[in-house]
Structure 1
């Protein structure tokens, strides 16, 4: 990854966060909690940016429709997050496989 790629990535991230800041306060709070949750569990697909940008698109559509954030996702934010990534591998899964020696992992 070159310097230009890092600069472009930073510009995209700032534009993404500007969209988040344009959301109503309740949406912002829930978005940031979901973001924190995903950064903690580390879905492998998080790095490509489609998960969070898709979530932001979903929230913007909810705002346009005049719905509250909990009307969109339900009362259990963690369950909503888990449902979005239920079929995705996480870095925690990869680590667990590496320490347990399950098939399909590399040993040192």
Structure 2
């Protein structure tokens, strides 16, 4: 129930509607109440929708990866909220940005020529 609400699904019906025809409010209640068990496919569907791990869904102790740079944490959170198309676009943008020798040179403090030589690009 906590994960459902954290993901913005205030009611079981809202979650059932988002999951599709194979899921009902009654079935979700039985899972949340511990009366029925989820199949692996159902657990994966729900974890994907709630943006959580199977461990979290199962109530297992989960220790998220901690990043020392708060910008990395914010970026990871923002990425998790994107749809698949937007994730692909962002990945393409990131690949373009990191492939640009002038950006890598600025970050590393090296000259562009040094970075290009190290990367093997000309």
Please classify the TM superposition score into its range, dividing by the shorter chain length.
Answer: 0.3 to 0.5
Structure ranking higher on relative contact order (CA contacts 8 Å, 6+ apart): 1
In the superposition, the TM-score normalised over structure 1's length comes to 0.32
In the superposition, the TM-score normalised over structure 2's length comes to 0.29
Larger radius of gyration: 2
Q: Which has a greater percent of helix?
A: 1
